[in-house]
Amino acid sequence: MSELLAKIAVCVERGKVNALSPFPPDMKGQDGADELTKKALDEGFSPSDVLTQGLVAGMQNIGAKFRNNEVHVPDMLIAAKAMKTAMKHLKPYFASGMVKRKGIFIVGTVAGDLHDIGKNIVAMMVEGNGWEVIDLGVDVSAQKFISAVEDHGGRVIGLSTLLTTTMLNMEKTVQEIKAKHPQVHCIVGGAPLTNEFAVKIGADAYSPDPQGAIEFLNGVIS
């Protein structure tokens, strides 16, 4: 990997958004993911390499650290901000078809639940790993998930809940999605969930962390 792409990965992992960002303190005044991504493209690096060897690599590193409890939610959020800022430089290449998305990931918090931090982190991590994300927000009905599949053609749906009281809604939503679109993969997550619950409700997978969701998604397209 080139030194420049490696620097982009470090900026994403550490949440160094741009040169004006004071965070992290030891990188103050240095170019961040924003400037370095633009520089790489200007110097002729392929957009695909910038994405996979820079942005995706950085997000994978922070994801692995989060799984191992080496970093916390604020670290994930600032890393995602760095990634999103850098991704703006790649948008034209996605639009032109020069860089291909891995697939479409539809995500939302199930009906009756208004919590979104966990869902947002998963969405940002998945986008940073090269997927197009359709974020339906919170309190999402089964029909809204189904309509999103029909409108966007997604093969994978992520369902989140933080409340034990809405786990029943998750079960009903998975069942309705599978009844209408049995080919769609459903992955579920949230604090009160377990793998046993996921199996019971007919979901295809359960993950307690964003990295597990990414591994499942990458397995779907492999």
Q: Which domain holds residue 178?
A: 104-221
Is the pTM higher than 0.85? The answer reads no
Mean pLDDT of 176-192: 96
Q: For residues 89 and 112, state if they share a domain.
A: no
| CATH number for the domain that contains residue 173 | 3.40.50.280
Provide the pLDDT confidence category of residue 117 given band limits of 50, 70 and 90: confident
- Measure the CA–CA gap between 103 and 217, rounded to whole angstroms: 9
| CATH number for the domain that contains residue 39 | 1.10.1240.10
Q: For residues 88 and 165, state if they share a domain.
A: no
- Measure the CA–CA gap between 79 and 215, rounded to whole angstroms: 19
Instruction: Provide the domain count of the chain.
Output: 2
pLDDT (tens digit, 9 = 90+) per residue, 27-53? 999 999 999 999 999 999 999 899 989
The 8-class DSSP code of residue 2 comes to -
Q: For residues 108 and 183, state if they share a domain.
A: yes
Q: For residues 89 and 120, state if they share a domain.
A: no
- Measure the CA–CA gap between 40 and 50, rounded to whole angstroms: 7
Q: Residue 185 is encoded by which pair of tokens?
A: 């993969």
